[in-house]
């Protein structure tokens, strides 16, 4: 008897997570992007501090004017200078700011905790050091070879994620939900490849 949750509960959970993440952050949900930003958190924090300094347009203009005056000297004052025209509201044309790196870290931790809670509740939590009997039967039973195969596979997954500009969560969940053409194509390619490889492993090899 299976201890897995019903499929509709998982589908509803994924939908709620994806929608809420998009509404809160105005960004697509992507685990690979979150992982990359957390790994480079020092650089991300530096970028966030620089953006925070110039989050206000007036502060940015004043900073640029001060730097220009220090470099080239203050321009002569003009008494009859016309008042500057009000800036037009660009609305949604402005690119969305990246979410804070702490948000990406919270996303990754939540995924880990959620998986752990689900495994414990379902009575399936178990520490393992391999991919299970199916992997040993289809690929290799030698622990050293298994580690090497998994390492190479992880490198290829990372390369493919970079090449496609996202992973199955970013393209498959968020991108397809937004009907983005690049996400539809990417999802069709990696799911189609997965189906083909599974067929080869289980039916041919």
Q: Is residue 35 part of a domain?
A: yes
Q: Is residue 157 part of a domain?
A: no
pLDDT of residue 18: 83
Q: Is residue 12 part of a domain?
A: yes
CB of 87 closer than 8 Å to CB of 57: yes
**Structural domains in the chain (count):** 1
pLDDT of residue 40: 82
Backbone phi and psi for residue 74, each to the nearest 5 degrees, phi listed first: -75, 135
pLDDT of residue 92: 47
Tens-digit pLDDT profile for residues 126-146: 777 767 777 777 677 777 887
pLDDT of residue 176: 85
Give the C-alpha separation, 190 to 167, whole Å: 9
Which residues are CB-contacts of 164 (< 8 A; sequence separation ≥ 6)?
171, 186, 189, 190
Tens-digit pLDDT profile for residues 72-91: 766 655 555 455 555 555 44
The parent domain of residue 118 ranges over 1-76+98-127
pLDDT of residue 11: 84
Q: Is residue 161 part of a domain?
A: no
pLDDT of residue 201: 76
Tens-digit pLDDT profile for residues 20-62: 888 887 777 888 888 888 888 888 888 777 777 666 666 667 7
Q: Is residue 25 part of a domain?
A: yes
Q: Is residue 172 part of a domain?
A: no
Q: Is the pLDDT of residue 16 over 70?
A: yes
Q: Is residue 116 part of a domain?
A: yes
CB of 37 closer than 8 Å to CB of 104: yes
Average pLDDT on 108-120 reads 86
Q: Is the pLDDT of residue 19 over 60?
A: yes
Which residues are CB-contacts of 19 (< 8 A; sequence separation ≥ 6)?
177
Count other Cβ atoms within 10 Å, centred on residue 75: 9
* Percentage of the chain exceeding pLDDT 70: 79
Q: Is residue 174 part of a domain?
A: no
């Amino acid at each position: 008897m299976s201890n897995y949750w019903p499929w509709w509960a998982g589908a509803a959970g994924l939908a709620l997570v994806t929608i809420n993440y998009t509404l809160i952050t105005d960004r697509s949900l992507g685990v690979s992007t979150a992982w990359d930003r957390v790994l480079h958190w020092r650089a991300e924090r530096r970028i966030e501090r620089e953006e925070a300094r110039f989050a206000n347009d007036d502060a940015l203009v004043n900073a640029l004017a001060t730097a220009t005056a220090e470099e080239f000297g203050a321009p002569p004052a003009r008494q009859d200078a016309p008042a500057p025209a009000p800036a037009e509201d660009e609305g949604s044309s402005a690119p969305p700011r990246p979410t804070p790196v702490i948000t990406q870290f919270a996303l990754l931790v939540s995924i880990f905790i959620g998986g752990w809670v689900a495994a414990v509740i379902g009575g399936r939590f178990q520490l393992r050091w391999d991919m299970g009997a199916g992997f040993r039967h289809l690929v290799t039973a030698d622990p050293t070879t298994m580690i090497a195969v998994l390492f190479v596979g992880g490198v290829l997954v990372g390369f493919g994620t970079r090449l496609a500009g996202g992973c199955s969560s970013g393209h498959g969940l968020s991108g397809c939900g937004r009907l983005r053409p690049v996400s539809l194509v990417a999802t069709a390619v990696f799911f189609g490849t997965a189906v083909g490889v599974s067929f080869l492993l289980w039916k041919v090899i």
